[in-house]
Amino acid sequence: MDIAELIAWVVTALGGFYLLGTWIRRGGTRRQQTGATRLPAPVVFGHFALAALGLLVWVGYVAADTTALAWTAFGLLLPVALLGFVMLARWIPVHRAHAAAPATPGETANVPAERHFPLPVVFAHGLFAVVTLVLVLLTALGIGDN
């Protein structure tokens, strides 16, 4: 099951990298002062940093099979999930506004960077994140061991 969690975590990370890249490319970091983004940079980069650290800890767990590393990875995932839910809650109104009235070409300067997130990527990232969290918890609890 350790490898299944690793795969789920890597798929989640790939989706997250895509969303982070889109946010940066569309000006998310530059728009912090103007309020043109609903995602604060500390939340975005905190989510990314904790998730990356957790993935490294999980790779260490897979290599060493130490229960303490599994619990550490799970502990890192909790604030990652919390930050992810905060970003999701702040993104939903932006997505709804985009669905209701698509931006015109001259309006792009005031459009939040996260408006460009594709719904399927956001959905898949969240789904794989939940699967990862549950699988890591089950492993830390010793459920599913051979």
Asked if residue 60 lies in contact with residue 136, where contact means CB atoms within 8 angstroms, the answer is no
Query: How far apart are the C-alpha atoms of 145 and 82, rounded to whole Å?
Result: 28
Token pair listed for 44: 């975005």
Query: How far apart are the C-alpha atoms of 53 and 80, rounded to whole Å?
Result: 10
The CA-atom distances, in angstroms, between 102 and each of 54, 98, 106 are 37, 5, 12
Query: Which residues lie below 8 Å from residue 118, measured CB to CB, with a gap of 6+?
Result: none
pLDDT of 105 reads 60
Does the pLDDT of residue 104 top 70, yes or no?
no
Which residue's structure tokens are 């070409």?
Answer: 105
pLDDT of 100 reads 72
pTM of the model: 0.88
Query: How far apart are the C-alpha atoms of 74 and 67, rounded to whole Å?
Result: 11
Average pLDDT of the segment spanning 102-117:
72
Collapse the DSSP code of 117 into the 3-class scheme (helix H, G, I; strand E, B; otherwise coil) and give the result: coil
Query: Which residues lie below 8 Å from residue 48, measured CB to CB, with a gap of 6+?
Result: 16, 20
Asked if residue 11 lies in contact with residue 87, where contact means CB atoms within 8 angstroms, the answer is no
Average pLDDT of the segment spanning 48-53:
97
Give the rounded percent of residues in the chain with a pLDDT score beyond 70: 90
pLDDT of 28 reads 87
Which of 1-15, 49-63, 88-102 shows the lowest mean pLDDT across its residues? 88-102
